[in-house]
Amino acid sequence: MLPDPTPRLRFREMTEADLPAVSTLDLGGSRGPEGWIQWQRDNYAEHGFGLWIVETHDGVFVGDCGLTMQEVEGDWYVEAGWHVHASLRRKGYATEAAAAVRDAARAAGIAHLVAIIRPDNLASQGVARGIGLALEREVVKSGGPALVFGADLTR
């Protein structure tokens, strides 16, 4: 289940060959780039989705964007997530990619989509709002405060 290409972007599965590019992203967390790639490979096998490599139609690496399963306060949700290379931020790539991912989630029958975002990450909050997600609640996730944005995709 890959999102459809957008006017500027295309998606593909992440592979070990993407290690140099993925290592340039600010992924947060403690998996490291090799663990990050393996997590996506495992997600593709188990769920049929994960974070996909996002690149321009000319093959320029932009970042990653896709869907993962995330636990929040004991419940599991499908989350849209994205990371854009620092040199390519503020060009609308995250919103463009996340909208395509949202549409793919809807087409796959996912009823509710969330994005879990740190309170100080105003850019990602803007992306979430830009694809139609609204603040649902504040939680503690991975040892710190987080905002859960979400939307019902059945409407």
Phi-psi region of 59 (alpha: psi -120 to 50; beta: other; left: phi over 0): left
Can you give the pTM of this predicted structure? Answer: 0.94
Quick one: which of 114, 118, 112, 113 has its CA closest to 142? 118
Percent of the chain with pLDDT over 70: 99
- What ranges make up the beta strands (E) of 33-133? 51-56, 61-72, 75-84, 112-117
Burial tier of 103 (Cβ tally within 10 Å: 0-12, 13-18, 19+): middle
Mapped onto helix, strand or coil, the DSSP state of residue 147 is strand
At residue 142, the pLDDT reads 87
Identify the residue with better confidence: 118 or 142: 118
Q: Tell whether 1 is covered by a domain.
A: no
Domain count of the chain? Answer: 1
Using the predicted structure, report yes or no on whether residue 30 has a pLDDT greater than 80: no
| 61-72 vs 75-84, strand pairing mode | antiparallel
Q: Tell whether 130 is covered by a domain.
A: yes
At residue 19, the pLDDT reads 96
73: amino acid identity, one letter:
E
| 3-state per-residue secondary structure call for 10-53 | EEECCCHHHHHHHCCCCCCCCCHHHHHHHHHHHHHHHHCCCEEE
Give strand pairing partners of 56.
9
At residue 93, the pLDDT reads 98
Q: Tell whether 133 is covered by a domain.
A: yes
Using the predicted structure, report yes or no on whether residue 48 has a pLDDT greater than 80: yes
Residue 9 is given by DSSP the state: E
Quick one: which of 152, 111, 121 has its CA closest to 134? 152
Q: Tell whether 2 is covered by a domain.
A: no
Mean per-residue pLDDT over the chain, rounded: 96
Q: Tell whether 14 is covered by a domain.
A: yes
CATH, residue 131:
3.40.630.30
Percent of the chain with pLDDT over 90: 93
Using the predicted structure, report yes or no on whether residue 29 has a pLDDT greater than 80: no
- If pLDDT is split at 50, 70 and 90, which confidence band does 155 have? confident
Q: Tell whether 137 is covered by a domain.
A: yes
Lookup result for tokens 């609204």? 134
Domain extent, residue 93, equals 9-152
Q: Tell whether 139 is covered by a domain.
A: yes
